[in-house]
Amino acid sequence: MIAMPWVYIEDLSQHVGEEVELRGWLYNKRSSGKIHFLQVRDGTGICQCVASISDLGAETFAAADHMGQETSLRVTGVARADKRAPGGYELGLKSLTIVSPANDYPITPKEHGVAYLLDHRQLWVRSARQHAILRIRSEVESACRDFFSQRGFVLFDAPVLTPISCEGTTNLFQLDYFGERKAYLTQSGQLYAEAGALAFGKVYTFGPTFRAEKSKTRRHLTEFWMVEPEVAYFDLDDDMRLAEDFVAFIVGRVLERRAADLQALERDVTRLEAAASTPYPRISYDEAIERLKAKGMTVNWGDDFGGDEETALSEEFDRPVMVHRYPTQCKAFYMKQDPARPDVALCVDMLAPEGHGEIIGGGQREDDYETLRNKILAHDLPLAPFEWYLDLRRYGSVPHAGFGMGIERMTGWICGIHHIRECIPFPRMMERLEP
């Protein structure tokens, strides 16, 4: 047999009329007795392969009839355009070689429970729906990089192993560091990003972050990915403009490049299109409280918002809404108080539409040495581990602001997925550390 060029299904359109080789797995098949219609997937797409007994010979043709789902195979044939075929192209087979069989594949078209599917995550990621979600996740991450790269931000990786928490030690994973001391897994790269911003002007971190929270909601993972820009000389208004530009860019990118995946998920893209342009609405926390009260919800000034309040607020808008200036008492020590009104912080949360909750949290950071020092003490945190952070206010402090965006929540909203556990290849939750 002469070696054919190996091509990916996503590139088939460039090879119409040519004899090519596909390497993949059997996704589905049907047979008319004289002709097999094999749906072959290779990770980049699905291609219908049409085979007759005269093309394959009796032995191979018979073997093809007994291949189980996910059998790996190599096929050669001529690519042709066919509007009826899924993907628009099909292959008229000339040869078929089984690479490795698959019998009794554990994930069948029947309904499986989520726990079963998560137990088989290594195989579940091959299914059409998971494929679409994880391709969109990859696009979201790629869009994040491109947005910051185009704007001259330096990628400034923050450490995962840290000596202290930036928001208290309650929800921290801790580990033994060479039998000498404790280390903690980071909850946020922000403090380090601040050092980066004062060195490079504009930076972002992008990596896994960890919360040992004992919560089992659809919005929580113990390990999730965050992207966190930080910019010197930015105030809260600059920060909100950056945040809306960022989210609109990502949504626009996914709409443009992953339309087929959104369609596979049956996502109503009209719900996303509004979010691809700016500005986004901005309301103050004060106004949010009034709106919630007007809806009959029991909420008092000073309360932090939970999932119910976020959902109620987001329902009022067709695109993400930015809620700014929460009560200082709700927020972390590093948030800058509004000089005009010290009971509120110069912070912002962005809430995704349709009840997908907070996708961004951020704001302006306290840049005055004495004020920050006093706030650390007021939060009952030790000073020593924050001396390096205080240095950023000792030597040429400047106003600065930033935010963090959770990749899984962002992906979940874009995909219209209820539980974010499907938005990461191998989710980690309180009761799940496997596979």
Which residues within the stretch 300-339 sit at the binding site for a copy of itself (CB under 8 A)? Answer: none
Helix axes 307-314, 285-294, angle to 10 degrees: 90
The backbone torsions φ and ψ at residue 242, rounded to the nearest 5 degrees and listed phi first, read -60, -45
Indicate the DSSP class of residue 109. S
In the range 380-409, which residues lie near a copy of itself by CB under 8 A?
385, 388-389, 391-399
Q: Is 6 one of the binding residues for a copy of itself (CB under 8 A)?
A: yes
> Interface with a copy of itself includes 428 (CB under 8 A)?
yes
Q: Which of the residues 27 through 66 are near a copy of itself (CB under 8 A)?
A: 42-44
Distance CA 321, CA 281 (A): 5
| Nearest-approach distance from CB 102 to a copy of itself, in angstroms | 4
Residue 309 near residue 297 (C-beta atoms within 8 A): yes
Q: Is the dihedral of CA 231, 232, 238, 239 positive or negative?
A: positive
233 near a copy of itself, judged by CB under 8 A? yes
**Alpha carbons 347 and 358: distance in angstroms, whole number:** 13
Lookup: tokens for 74:
């190599």
Binding mask 144-163 for a copy of itself (x = CB under 8 A): -x---x--x-xxxxxxxxxx
Other residues' Cβ atoms within 10 Å of the Cβ of residue 423: 27
Smallest gap from residue 80 Cβ to a copy of itself (A): 22
By CB under 8 A, name the one of 16, 99, 114, 377 that touches a copy of itself. 99
By the rule CB under 8 A, 362 interacts with a copy of itself: no
According to the binding rule CB under 8 A, does residue 425 interact with a copy of itself? yes
Minimum gap (Å) between residue 33 Cβ and a copy of itself: 25
- C-beta of 135 vs 409, nearer to a copy of itself: 135
Of the two residues 48 and 222, which places its CB atom closer to a copy of itself in the complex?
A: 222
Contact call for residue 232 and a copy of itself (CB under 8 A): yes
Alpha-carbon distance of 57 to 52, in angstroms, equals 8
Please report whether residue 70 would count as binding a copy of itself according to CB under 8 A: yes
Among 111, 266, 370, 434, binds a copy of itself (CB under 8 A): 434
* Whole-angstrom distance, CA of residue 236 vs CA of residue 170: 28
- DSSP secondary structure string, 31-65? E-SSEEEEEEE-SS-EEEEEEEHHHH-HHHHHHHT
Stretch that binds a copy of itself, among 128-136, 243-251, 293-301, 333-341 (CB under 8 A): 128-136
Interaction between residue 91 and a copy of itself (CB under 8 A): no
Least distance CB 281 / a copy of itself (angstroms) = 26
Q: What Cα–Cα distance (Å) separates residue 226 from each residue in 12, 93, 184, 411? A: 36, 46, 17, 12
Binding mask 168-207 for a copy of itself (x = CB under 8 A): -----xxxxxx--x-x-x------x--xxxxxxxx----x
* Calpha distance 376→371 (Å, rounded): 9
Q: Which stretch binds a copy of itself (CB under 8 A): 121-129, 265-273, 285-293, 333-341?
A: 121-129
Residue showing tokens 């001391």: 181
Least distance to a copy of itself, CB of residue 167, Å: 17
Q: How many residues bind a copy of itself (CB under 8 A)?
A: 95
Chosen residue from 4, 53, 123, 264 binding a copy of itself by CB under 8 A: 123
Among 65, 127, 73, 63, smallest CA distance to 100 is for: 73
365 lies in the site for a copy of itself, by CB under 8 A: no
Tell me the one-letter amino acid at 8: Y
- Please name every residue paired with 95 in a beta bridge, in sequence order, or none if there are none: 76
Q: Which residues 257-296 are close enough to bind a copy of itself by CB under 8 A?
A: none
Q: How far is the CB of 255 from a copy of itself (least distance, A)?
A: 18
User: What type of residue is 387?
Assistant: E
Phi–psi pair at 350, nearest 5 degrees: -105, 125
